[in-house]
Amino acid sequence: MSLDLVKKLVILAKSNIMQSNNIDALEAIRIKFLGKKGYLNQHIKNINDTPSDIKPKLGAAINQAKKDIYTLFIEQKNILQSKNIKNTLITDTLDVTLPGRLSDIGTHHPITSTIKRMKIFFNTLGFSIIHSPEIEDDYFNFDSLNISKYHPSRDEHDTFWFDEKRLLRTHTSGVQIRAMTNKTPPIRIISFGRVYRKDYDQNHTPMFHQMEGLMVDSHVNFSYLKKILYDFLYNFFEKDIILRFRPSYFPFTEPSAEIDVMKQETGNWLELLGCGMVHPKILHHVDIDTKKFSGFAFGIGIERLTMLQYNIDDIRVFFKNDLQFLDQFKQYKDI
Ligand code: DAH
């Protein structure tokens, strides 16, 4: 290998590059001259055979040759690329009258749709929506609702505590106290939100949704409560359902009741919601005159309603973000 040969290789590479008229051919030339097994690298391998006085000069010349050839290659590549773009612009036709490609349109999550329907029903009856924090203190979540210091629901096993006072609310019922503290009767409110309990199985997830309702007025009674809730449930399910109103116990209502629905397939009763007349102790506590006013309250599990409506038997599917599951709800008309 001599300096002369290096010069000749550069000249040859240059003329090859200039004559190439497409990117593939150009790339083949690059490999032929600059590739691992290309001419110049082959010569570098043989450099040991050259006399030591010209070795450094020859090494430098080969490196310079590689640089020069590479620069030429890049220049030619840019030229060919812009030629390609120009050609495509000339030859390609764009039919602007073609229909567009449809993108997949999402739909509301079934829980969101249930919440919307509940809102519409209760708004129509004059209930307005209020919000309440998900991080509560033990006063609003337990004490103010007449839940004793030793009630099992306060246990570490059931409740997510941040410290001795603050927790993730276990139900939406605390909103009743906030509403009665901030407003004077007549009061008609509903509130939706996430609640948290340490539970996980087919019927329980650590986070789920509830709706709380509260009405306080001068003529509010138990039969009015039952009527409103039955109307709501018949309207919600849009089909014949069999309901049962049965006595129950909640520390913040007296009397208290629960409503169950009969599962048609099995004949079993399934609990839907808890309700009752606001306990007089609680009304006194928030300075509402029990001689003039009475109130009722109810708490509904939103997942439970949605599961019954669509015959879903595992609550966990709501929170898996599985598109195959969610896509099914496209068929239902949204509101
Ligand atoms: N907070 C109760 C629960 O999570 C449900 C409930 C029962 C709410 C009775 C009420 C009520 O407002 O009056 O199980």
Work out the burial of residue 267: count CB atoms within 10 Å of its CB; fewer than 13 is exposed, 13-18 middle, 19 or more buried.
Answer: exposed
The pLDDT of residue 1 is: 62
Q: Which of 204, 232, 283, 298 to mutate to test the pocket of ligand 1 (most atoms within 8 A of CB)?
A: 298
Contact in structure between 191 and 175 (CB atoms under 8 Å):
yes
Contact in structure between 132 and 174 (CB atoms under 8 Å):
yes
Contact in structure between 123 and 160 (CB atoms under 8 Å):
no
The pLDDT of residue 118 is: 97
238: left (phi over 0), alpha (psi -120 to 50) or beta: left
Closest CA to 200 of 192, 211, 208: 208
DSSP 148: -
User: Could you tell me how many residues make up the chain?
Assistant: 335
Separation of 176 CA from ligand 1 center, angstroms? 10
Q: Specify the residue with its C-alpha closest to ligand 1, atom 2.
A: 299
Nearest ligand 1 atom to alpha carbon 176: 12
Query: What is the C-alpha separation between 211 and 130, in angstroms, rounded?
Result: 11
The pLDDT of residue 44 is: 77
Q: Specify the residue with its C-alpha closest to ligand 1, atom 12.
A: 298
Considering the entire predicted model, what is its pTM?
0.71
Residue by residue, pLDDT tens for the chain (335 residues) are 688 888 898 999 999 999 999 999 999 999 999 998 888 888 777 777 888 888 888 888 888 999 999 999 999 999 999 999 999 888 888 888 988 888 877 889 999 999 999 999 999 999 999 999 999 999 999 999 999 888 888 777 889 999 999 999 999 999 999 999 999 999 999 999 999 999 899 989 999 999 999 999 998 999 999 999 999 999 999 878 999 999 999 999 999 999 999 988 888 898 999 999 999 999 999 999 999 999 999 999 999 999 999 989 899 999 999 999 998 888 776 65
Contact in structure between 185 and 271 (CB atoms under 8 Å):
no
E strand residue ranges, the chain:
128-129, 135-137, 166-168, 187-196, 207-217, 243-250, 253-262, 269-278, 294-301
Nearest ligand 1 atom to alpha carbon 252: 13
Contact in structure between 236 and 118 (CB atoms under 8 Å):
yes
For residue 52, give every residue at least 6 positions away whose Cβ sits within 8 Å of its Cβ, in sequence order, or none: none
The pLDDT of residue 261 is: 93
pLDDT digits (tens, 9 = 90+) for 263-322: 888 888 989 999 999 999 999 999 999 999 999 999 999 999 999 999 898 999 999 999
According to CATH, the topology of domain 110-331 is: BirA Bifunctional Protein; domain 2 (3.30.930)
The pLDDT of residue 230 is: 97
**How many CB atoms are closer than 10 A to CB 292?**
9
Separation of 299 CA from ligand 1 center, angstroms? 4
Which residues line the pocket of ligand 1, CB cutoff 6 A? Answer: 171, 173, 212, 250, 253, 274-276, 297-299
